[in-house]
Structure 1
Amino acid sequence: MRVALNARILQAPRTGIGHYVAELAPALAGEPGLELTLFHGWGWSSELPAAAMPGYSRLSPWLRQVPGAYQARRWLEQRRFDQGRHATIDLYHEPSLWPMSFEGPIVMTLHDLTHVHYPATQPPARLKEIERRLGAGMEQARVILTDSQFVAEEAQDYFGLPRERFVVAPLGAAPRFHPREPAELEPCLATYGLQAHSYLLCVGTLEPRKNLSQALLAHARLPETLRQRYPLLIVGMAGWEQGQFSDTLQKALASSHVRLLGYLPDEQLAQLVAGARALVFPSRYEGFGLPVLEAMASGTPVVLARCAAMPEVADTAGNYVNPDDVDGLRHAMLRLIEDDGHWQACHEAGLQQAKLFSWGRCARITARAYRQAMGG
């Protein structure tokens, strides 16, 4: 079976969907009877790019204001897609929201409905294009993959599609996310003046649905001595309309107890995850919550909101809070800082829970979905 996977998103610095493509593609390469080809937006290759294109932007701010900019780029990509495949593809897999036109079987991955629940996280022109194309793509796809049962069920309701069109393929944690000894972490942590298990960590794009403002407020309510000993590190790219909580962030940064590190290379992030006392992840909405799984695979306890798909990932290994309960979030942080027995229990429970997920399993389910779409 000759499969085309749209890997255009790998031109950008890797966040959720980019990591999905980067990890799924090599895992699929080990599936018998499957020949995978990657479409990179402007051409075809059998190899993953080593890194994002220098200076890449999905669409520059000034170009977003040009009428039809998204449509024009999409038209050019469609031309490249049509010219390169030469009728040698049996099935096309679209891992994001905008499937290309293809006359054969299509499998599509729907990671979440963020654009429905939080439309402000999308630039207006992009949101309009998603709304124009997504419904048609969902109708055309023979099989729709989701990362969680939660997304499968809400998509069935929202789009009015039958349950048999959906296949749940949970994600995995990359091998770089594993427990590490303090000595291994020392060179990385020393650059930030940190020691292993002496800080709290937030990971995610800076946008309102991630609810980082609550994490900042909860951390600010810890005793002064603990805030000095356990600063809060925030790792992630700037998001759309991040200014909605910029005042809270600026006040926290002024205290020196919060550090905004921005987007970090994969290995550096993996070391920071492994060295954290806890991952603080109070997001209001996630189609899966990959940082939660990556933290558990690293042996790092997780504080998270009991929202959306995240309980499917953490199950009983998570420390759950109400996303609007600042004091509850503060208490969860405090317990993981002060109660070594609880920390150890969460460490062990997370490692066991993470073993249930792997990219190999995701690839096997995905390959079965391909065969289902082909009628096999």
Structure 2
Amino acid sequence: MAHEDDPLEHERASWKPSPGLAVAVTDPVHTPELPPHRARMTDKDPAAMKAAVRTVYTLFYISVAASIWAIAAYMLFPIESGRIIDIRHNNLFIGLGIALALLAIGIGAIHWSKAIMSDKEFVEPRHATRGRDTTREAAIQAFADANEESGFGRRTMIRNSLIAAVVASVAPGIVLFRGLAPHNSPTNPIAGDPVALLSHTMWEEGMKLAHDPSGEPIRAADLTLGSAVHVIPQPLSEMSHHDGYLEEKAKALVLLVRLLPEQITEPEDRKDWSYNGIVAYSKVCTHVGCPVALYEQQTHHLLCPCHQSQFDVTDQAKVIFGPAARPLPQLPITVDDEGYLIARSDFTEPVGPSFWERH
């Protein structure tokens, strides 16, 4: 206890706040109550409730129609035709159908929860939960209450249309898997065999190497040291508007690189596969088939942008990094009497992903 002549105590007793100085006053904090419940129009007007119900199941049926349209678009614009217009329409209309199907389900579900489901506020006290019989009974009761409040069991039109929309929304994705199935035909017995399809391209002995996409043939003398050129077979440029163009181009794409002859490591059986330091390798990555088109001039590495596989151009395009399982196939090349680069033969091994070679 302080003494009566304590100067600090006298100072405390005589202190008064200066004018304009805010003084904090501690008051008890009260938990705010729930605001008054405001009835929705659908709660007050039966006609509004019926209109909301019709809106919800109409949206769900629109979703069903959009899913069916996505499947129809897959058949109306077959991507297998190889025509660019069909590929564009295939992607556009299938995408629009799937997007509308999912959007209609989402909007319908939100409108259902806001306009039709129970709108009464309630307070749920927190308590310790344990795996007892009473907990199981409470969980069952909670499902029963949710069913009653949402009207899922009573409103059959909404329930059935929602189930139909959800089931239909999955159908386009299932149908799209058809594109992965074999499509053999009497005229093309290997059409469904990826191993046979990728074992041969349109490269043939004596076929000129040409710039992609112009089709202009390439002279060996025109390639500068360190250059990297995207190459296609010259006849391919003449069939750009024909069926099968994209398939043939996807297999036959080549990257042409010029190095110093002494920089190239070649086994004896491949000594004549390059010409004066010029080498040609397939652009199709042996991992999952992405185009290998990024060339690092200083390191002589080819980089696949999809999964970062790297290949050494100076050493038979061997894999030096990444998930690719084997080197890029090499196209044997030479020059003709006019100095144009030509192919000695087709690739001697399948192009593309390694997993296609599994039987």
Question: Which TM bucket (shorter chain)?
Answer: under 0.3
The structure with the largest alpha-carbon Rg is 2
Q: Which has the higher contact order (CA 8 A, sep 6+)?
A: 1
